[in-house]
Structure 1
Amino acid sequence: MERIVYFEPLFTKRREKLVESCVKLQRQGKNFIYLLPSREAIKDVRYSIIDRNFGMINSTVIMFDELERMLVEGVISNDRIIHEDFEAVIIARLFKENKDKLLYYKKVFNKHGFIEETRTFIKVLKRQNISSEEFIKRINSLNDLEDSILKSKLQDLSLIYKEYTDMLKKYNIYDVNDISLKAVKTVKEGRGKKVFNKTDSIIIDGFISIDEVDMKLIEQICEKSNVNLYVNLSFKNALTKDMLQEKIANRFANMGFTIEESLEEFYDVNKDIKCLCENLYSGKTVEKAEAVTINSYPSISVEVRETARDIKRLLLQEEAENIAVFVNNKDEYMPHLIRIFREFKIPIEVVDNMPISAAQLVRNTINEVFFEEENKTVGQWIDCICEKIQDYSLEIAELKKKVLEESLPIQDMIVLKGYLGFESFLEGLKNSFKLCGMLEDLMPKEDIKELIRSSVENTPMTIENTKAVGVKVLNTDLARGTFYNHVYILGLNEGEMPAVSQSRGILNEQDINSLINLDISYKDYELDLLKEKIRFNFTLSTARKAVTLSFRTSDEKGGFSIPSSFIQEVKFLTGINYSRALTMRDRFELKFSDVMSEYELKVVLLKSLFDKYYNDGKELSYEEKLNVIKAYEKDVENYIYKGFVEYHKNKEVNFNNYEGILGEKFGRFSKKNKLSISAIKDYLDCPYSFMANRIFNLSYIEELEDEYNSMEIGNLYHAVLYSYYDGLSNYEELEEERLQELFDIELKKMRSIDQEPEQYEEFYKCAHENLTEFIKLDLKRFKDYEKKSKGKLLRPAILEKLFKNTDLFSMAVASKIDRVDLEYELNEGEYIPTGRFVIYDYKKKNIPKFDSILSIKDCQLTIYYLIILEELKNIPQLRDKTLECMALLYLSIEDRGKTKLNYEGIYLEKHMKNLGISKKSPFDKESFYVFINYAKSTIEETMAKIKAGKFNYTLECSAVLNSYANISCEFKEMCRYNKSKLVNIGLKN
């Protein structure tokens, strides 16, 4: 029986020797358990053994948690383990039940963040093998006078820890951290023989720290079995020696292990890298470091693109699997890595994890279900979600069938895996509530919504696991004992690497230092920072030939970003400066010799084309270059004419910034006119089109057709809705006869058309049905509002009213407001207005998107608000009321749901529930008024430009951007953006 710790320098071949010993054991018919800290290391060792032995039988290469599950098999059933996020539910309940017993945390016990921190603290205690009884003993050793506040804090936490432990015992359930504790107990009681009797050796390799509970497990294995145990700590250097000696080597020595430091076989590693890794944070300097490179980039996209460019060159002489990219900030880097490496056709081996909330159907389901009433039990809420998600079952069935036949696009894979992950999560959550007898408990909507929302944001799904061999994309936690010829470490910025928070959570710095005296390690910043330094050191040590470090000078929001202290340490140690320091401008200075993809080739060719065109270069002719580019891009003329437009703005006499400017003469003319809101929208869309249409009346005159156009049908809808709501007293149900009568009256007012009876009947039926269903859903909305607001009424007060306002802006504005609803409350037997109101604008079918409203591309509702605010102040019943707009909404008449109307607009968050709004773009009161003021100033600027006669082209014409496909423009032949006109001028010049 051997018990050995190999405490040897970095780069020794100890892992290789241990793998060889495992291969020999297999050939002798003996078994082993090889424990490693990361999946990457597991894969490396597993492949090495299988490659040398052509397989692996009755032996395992696993992590500690998998060994612990093996030991408790048959002792803990999987269906008795609660979902991790459910732990917080239990803790919240225990705090509520014991709030009167709390000494210190009485004011924060129900805060979500505090509950999560308590959950983390209990986990820390369990990982350090500290039971609730042991925790109480340690607390009692504190001095009452010196540590009275800390003692009160810890007594509150110990109370909940004990109650939590008791509750788990009461229901015979476990959390995931109990598995480790149970494994220790199982081995101590001699029940681990089924695992160890058939195991010859256990190898523990690659750990820089081992949790106390796992140390206890190793102690029990040593006591209760004759298995050989080998611990590999072969990464000793100036940085790691003291910590590894104290935290691991000495502990094993106390268990009777022999410490060996004799191996002198080293991996073949570049001397510069070896010297750097051995002396990092030693205070020494090294003479040279030619194998080390430091690069500075302006953004993530540039950092990834230039890294990919280097790797593409390397692939001429290196295999892809011999190159590794380490990055810790995967959320921001991964989309760029996948996109750019695909563009460069570089194979990558990466597991792309994202939360199941990334699937739109998950977010939609949660939002729609929690729009319901609040009087539901936990089980009913979960059943509602399970029922709602079945709406996607047909779509998912198709994707399941499709995935067996072909590789799914990434968006489809997100949908499929999000659905499956959500189903599994709901099943686990429901089982956890059931185990604790809490399934029938009433739970506030916001509490369970927050639980589910936070859970789906933290429940990962694997989207892309590239099976083909390629460049490894890893994080620094996986860099132990694996080697690559070339290593790139990206994102070396403060806050990302090292990513150590100084937040102390529920305890302050003094408390944490006091805990150390109780042998409790909790949020030890210095220790966590040391571990980050060691991980960085190990990441450097994975490189055999060269290592490249890179950081960004700005973050993705445009702010400054500073290099990591790790960069500064390497610079100090080696004396090297930045090998490459790119700026934003450098992104566009790409040489032909550096091109690595078709996309980059297009960029370079187009740039050179424009350079030649404006600088009279003597390279390829325009036509020759155009033909070259067309070989790569069919739609190249779109790029070219857009490019010409931008150059024309500054370079050409024939096309300049002064087209469309009428000047002061128009100012006198404008005083005689009033503007409609649609005219203002036209100007915002395209000032030049506004000039041609509204000023010079160049718009084409459409001939009357033998069918009603969209505007005529829209006018019919408006007229019928006005007539129906005007004087309406019955809001309980639709008065079908009244609607029929009003519909027929308004229909008779429309122009006569020569149409087949069947066609007319179809139009009649469709229009009548649209209005019927719209009013039904609208009336349902009124009733829902009354119910949710506990008796308040919402009723139309202003209908199809024409306003002309000369005071708001520098020009008169005329508008017809479709509808304004006022809120009423019962006061001494009479309903009186409260001052709250909602403004609506009907749309026949398509309603403006939220983005266009927010960017003031669509200003209709905003102007309505500004105008109606003045009018409401003149209503006698509202003069002493504080006016508050609850929402500005577009309502679609034809495009509606089965149970509610389709809407878009701006709404205050506090009124969403009552108004039946489930979309997630609310405003608070302050941001609403900020937006209104911003919109008003934008409209005033627009008015000033109109008065000044400025009608020059807009920078981004929506019609052009859509190639005139979805947006008609009568004046495109006059427009400077016209593709054919611009390309022809370019050819002539």
Structure 2
Amino acid sequence: YCKELNVYETGDVYSEVLRLDKKDFVLRFYNSFSGVRTIIINGFDEFTQPEINIINRTADVEGVELFVMFDYYRYNPALFSHLDKCYEKFKAKGFNEVEDTSQIQFNDYQKRIREKLFLLNENDEPKPSEIDTVKIIAQSPEEEIRLIAKEIKSLITKNNVDVDSMTVAFNLISDHSAIIRDVFNEYGIPFNLTDRYALNESQPVIALINFLEILENNFYYKNIFRALTGRWIKINGLDLSNLLRVSSNLKIVSGYKNWIDSISRTIDEINFNNDDEDNRFLPIEFYSKAKDDIEAIFEMLKPFREKKTIYEFKDELRKLIYTLGLPQRIVNDHESYIEKNVKAITVFLETLDELFDLLTDENGTDKKFPLGYFLSQVKTALQFTRYNIKERHANGVLVTSVNEIRGLNFDYVFIGGLVDGEFPTRYQPEIFLSGSYRKDEYRHILEDRYHFYQTLCCAKKRLYLSFPMKDEKKEFTPSTFVNDLLRLFKDEEKTIKDYSELVYSKSELMKYAATLDLEKDKDKLDSLGIDVEKLKTDLSIDKLRLENPFGESEYTGDISKNISEEAKTKLADQKERQYSASQLEEYAKCPFQYFLKRILQLETIEEPTEELESFELGSIIHSILYEFYGTLKEKS
């Protein structure tokens, strides 16, 4: 239907709605929302002019009451002045202002924030509030997350606080999501992280693109191994280790024809001359298997060799996804990854549909393009596409961005990353926009202030403000927002020292246990669930290794006692044999490597190279000289 109207974005939809005459607008409203008599618009900061016009026309529908919940206070321009124009536009449309004076709407804490935050009145002094304010100071970004996790763990264990009554909000959540996952999992805290993931970092999507690049880069060996090494793309019977072994042996770097010709020539040479005195070749079945595997990859990518129309490429790509079995592998993956990967592939397919629709509008349906063109377009689209997984309510501590919690209420609110440059973010001029589309620096800081204010209003019992002092590269400056708020309210300060009395995770428990005496503190260790006898055994083994590293024990590398007679015989043979200087040197460098290579006879498969090795160059020169002087001798 949108295609029929020639609309492709929200602005196009607004234009079509506003083109309707009054009678048609009312008729369509009744058809779409029959029975609706009250409309409440809540949770929005600003409205564009088309949105205001649509809201105004909706308010004129007979029998419908419409209310816009507009969080605006004209007497605090340092916080609300960016909403002045929007407020005046609603007034100009005839909207009546109704002030909500109920205690439910704003408590004393919220009123003080609305009226005084960012105004810099010298007469203001910090006052107590019904909302406790706690400032958490960490030395590093990782320590900041750990202190937040420790405080949450304390609230759960000491105060019996429900996890769904707490939220942790960052202005730039994606900068912290990885460490939040690690730390919260380590501390055993159930959480719901609503971060948006970059589609170009999805492993199933990356694997699919890498597989297509095999053909685009003409079977370059690194593309083959990059695409097929992971768990997402498996071709029945394909032996990747054998492919690497053959490519290294024959020095095949790229080229489908080169793969097939080199392997075929080698097979013919082995069949013609069974005498391989120099051990140049692998068993013939290795080459046959490698040839079959390369041909299998080629057959799967064959449809993409020729130029295709946009529709043809889209159709073949979908077929390839199912041929490779990606959907089946995703839904049968580990349960903690299924939802994320299903969402990634779904968004990937939706993105392809949108991209190919745009390309069709631009180029038509008949024009054909090579694989490289499509890969370039797809990779560009993936770079700017993000997705998130469905929020699971009442499933743990909500960890999200400040924009996601506005209008919600939580007993305990943590606002993290409160350093200048993150919250507020640095102003960056929008050099590609001009006129009314460009946002000046003051408006930028106003919007960040407003988001901070909205996040503060989410707290019902306690508010935590946290920030790190430095990272590996630089020192941080605490956000000016923190100082502005603490001019109004008294606060409590916490650092790492305030969390030294409790053990919050298994790793901390083990560190604490290491400080205890195994005999004197046996009861305490037992109460912590630590097997004291096993711990004694482990410590005795470590002591043995330190005090007598070359003693006759299996823990120091001596395996001569509890082994079979056959193994003893083989070891005795090794003891009596003669060793070259290079072998002894190799053993001195790394005994374990010597054991793997010389005893177990495990080999490392080197990557193929087109450069000549020294011994190969020497052999070629010898052959040339032999042919040259042999010919001269015959002629003379």
Alignment TM class, shorter chain as reference: 0.5 to 0.7
CA displacement, residues 501-520 of structure 1 (integer Å, 9 cap, x when unaligned): 3232225xxxx5xx2xxxx2
| Structure 1: distance between partners of 2:7 and 2:76 | 46
The answer for the alignment partner of 1:376 in structure 2 is: 307
Distance 2:532 2:365 in 1: 59
The answer (yes or no) to whether the contact 1:190–1:224 under 8 Å persists in 2 is no
1:715-734 alignment, distance < 5 Å: none
Deviation at 1:212, TM superposition (A): 1.8
Shift of 1:367: 2.7
Task: Tell me what 2:511 maps to.
Answer: 603
User: Matched residue pairs, number?
Assistant: 493
Separation of aligned partners in 1, 2:503 and 2:114: 34
CA distance in 1 between counterparts of 2:533 and 2:391 reads: 33
Question: Does the 8 Å CA contact 1:173/1:435 hold for their aligned counterparts?
Answer: no
Q: Secondary structure at the match of 2:24?
A: coil
1:552 CA displacement: 1.6
Which residue identity lines up with residue 690 of structure 1 in the other structure?
K
CA contact (8 A) 2:72 2:83 kept: no
- In structure 2, the partner of 1:416 is 342
Unaligned 5+ segments in structure 1 are 1-76, 82-168, 656-673, 683-687, 719-773, 779-793, 804-817, 821-989
Q: Which of 181, 198, 202 lines up with 1:359 in the alignment?
A: 202
Deviations 1:473-502 (A, max 9, x none): 332223433322221101112232223532
In the alignment, is the contact (CA less than 8 A) between 1:494 and 1:563 conserved in 2? yes
How does 1:801-950 map onto structure 2 within 5 Å? 801=616
Q: 2:125 aligns with which of 266, 286, 289?
A: 286
* 1:620 alignment partner in structure 2: 521
Query: Residue type of the partner of 1:800?
Result: F
Q: Tell me, yes or no, if structure 1 residue 538 matches structure 2 residue 454.
A: yes
Take 2:533 and 2:49, find their aligned partners in 1: how far apart are those partners?
64
Q: Which residue of 2 aligns with 1:314?
A: 155
Corresponding position: 1:505 with 2:431: yes
> Please, which of 76, 83, 89 is the counterpart of residue 251 of structure 1?
89
Could you say which residue in structure 1 is the equivalent of 2:224?
A: none
Q: 1:499 to 1:241 in 2, by over 3 A?
A: closer
Give the CA deviation at 1:181: 2.1
1-side partners of 2:382 and 2:162: how far apart?
Answer: 38
Partner of 1:552: 468
Looking at structure 2, the residues matched to 391 and 642 of structure 1 have their Cα atoms a distance apart, in angstroms, of 53
2:260 counterpart residue number? none
Give 1:467 shift.
4.2
1:216 alignment partner AA: N
In structure 1, the partner of 2:20 is 186
Match of 2:37 in 1: 200
Provide Cα deviations, 1:824-854, integer angstroms capped at 9, x if missing partner: xxxxxxxxxxxxxxxxxxxxxxxxxxxxxxx
* d(CA) in 2 for partners of 1:274, 1:189: 43
- Structure 2 distance, partners of 1:625, 1:689, is 45
Counterparts of 1:206 and 1:419, CA distance in 2: 31
**Distance across 2 between alignment mates of 1:257 and 1:446:** 56
| 1:690 correspondence with 2:529 | no
Residue aligning to 2:9: 175
- Counterpart position of 1:742: none
Tell me by how many angstroms 1:215 deviates: 1.2
Q: For residue 309 of structure 1, what is the amino acid of its counterpart?
A: K
* 1:396 has 2:327 as partner: yes
Distance 1:566 1:274, change over 3 A: same
The alignment status of 1:305 with 2:221, answered yes or no, reads: no
Is 1:273–1:292's contact at 8 Å kept on the other side of the alignment? no
Distance in structure 2 (CA, Å) of the matches to 1:632 and 1:458: 52
- Pairs within 5 Å for 1:516-665: 520-555=436-471, 558-574=473-489, 579-582=493-496, 591=500, 593-606=501-514, 608-609=515-516, 619-620=520-521, 631=530
| Alpha-carbon contact 2:174-2:195 (below 8 Å) kept | no
Match of 2:66 in 1: 229
User: 2:214 and 2:185 mapped to 1: Cα distance?
Assistant: 41
* Corresponding residue SS for 2:66: strand
Question: How far apart are 1:195 and its partner, in Å?
Answer: 1.9
Shift of 1:362: 0.8
Q: Is the Cα–Cα contact under 8 Å of residues 187 and 220 in structure 1 kept in the other structure?
A: no
Cα offset, 1:219, TM superposition: 3.1
How many Å apart are 1:211 and its aligned residue?
Answer: 1.5
Map of 1:472 onto structure 2: 398
Counterpart in 2 of 1:452?
378
Tell me, in whole angstroms, the C-alpha distance in 1 between the residues paired with 2:537 and 2:444: 54
**Post-superposition CA distance 1:283-312 (Å, at most 9, x none):** 123332562222221333322222122222
Give the alignment partner of residue 170 of structure 2, picking from 308, 323, 327: 327
Shift of 1:536: 0.2
**Do 2:164 and 2:394's aligned partners in 1 also have CA atoms closer than 8 Å?**
no
| SS across alignment from 2:8 | coil
2:307 maps to amino acid: K
Deviation at 1:415, TM superposition (A): 3.5
RMSD: 4.6
1:873 matched residue in structure 2: none
Quick check: 1:299–1:553 contact (8 Å CA) kept in 2?
A: yes
Instruction: Tell me by how many angstroms 1:534 deviates.
Output: 0.7
Question: Structure 1 length normalisation: TM-score?
Answer: 0.43
Amino acid at match of 1:543: A
For residues 915-961 of structure 1, what are the alpha-carbon distances to aligned partners after superposition, in whole Å with 9 as ceiling and x for unaligned? xxxxxxxxxxxxxxxxxxxxxxxxxxxxxxxxxxxxxxxxxxxxxxx
Deviations along 1:872-911, whole A, 9 cap, x unmatched? xxxxxxxxxxxxxxxxxxxxxxxxxxxxxxxxxxxxxxxx
Is contact 1:327-1:491 (8 Å) kept? yes
Return 5+ residue gaps in structure 2 as ranges. 217-304, 551-579, 622-636
Per the alignment, do residues 701 and 251 of structure 1 end up closer, same or farther by CA in structure 2, a change over 3 Å counting? closer
CA distance in 2, matches of 1:795, 1:691: 30
Task: Please give the TM-score of this superposition, normalised by the length of structure 2.
Answer: 0.64
**Percent identity, aligned pairs only?**
19
Deviations 1:545-583 (A, max 9, x none): 22110112234x54333322212323445576x81344x
In 2, distance between residues paired with 1:305 and 1:409?
26
Q: Distance in 2 between matches of 1:368 and 1:559?
A: 41
Pair 252,176 (structure 1): closer, same or farther in 2 beyond 3 Å: closer
Cα contact 2:412–2:459 (8 A) shared by 1: yes
Q: Residue 371 of structure 1: CA displacement? A: 4.4
